[in-house]
Homo-oligomer: A and B are copies of this chain.
């Protein structure tokens, strides 16, 4: 089979490369948050995935075995924590598309939650990675609300990100140094 240099093959190739390195956004964020905690820069954790347990058996007295359970949709975001007294809350999403980010990836509950915490003084945002472009952006909840209000479309074009979003610089340790990007906002709000 002859493979032509089409867009599709570019996407697949890039996905394989990242998969080989085992560097999903979630794994990168786990490492990053661990690094922040180690150096006491911020205490931010990923929340566990919400699961509805239906039945549990006890094959050994010591350990309960869940035999039937289902994934539930999240009512909040995946990540939250504190840095210098400021509450931080964000949702992280990855896309393989080259030209847009689909808003269907963000649950309405999550948008509502980010709006609520922002109103209470939180730094609330989306961390969006275009895997095929190896680029990670920060979009604040205020930016997202403005986009939804002023646009009819159900996806955000890459051009919007290039023009308005902040880029998380590439680094090795920590792999997604988002704290560096939001630090000015934290410093402005933090309690001396």
Contacts and interface: CB of A to CB of B under 8 A. Distances in A.
Given A45-B75, A51-B48, A67 B68 contact: yes
A69 B64 CA distance: 9
Given A48-B50, A49-B48, A116-B37, A191 B71 contact: no
Contacts of A43: 113, 116-117, 120, 122
Q: Top 7 closest A-B pairs, CB basis?
A: A85-B121, A48-B50, A66-B69, A82-B87, A87-B87, A48-B48, A82-B120
Interface of A: 37, 40, 42-43, 45, 47-51, 53, 63-72, 75-76, 80-87, 89, 113, 116-117, 119-122, 189-191
Given A40-B119, A63-B70, A86-B87, 14 more contacts: A40-B116, A40-B120, A45-B76, A47-B48, A48-B51, A51-B66, A65-B68, A66-B68, A66-B70, A66-B71, A81-B117, A85-B86, A85-B120, A121-B190
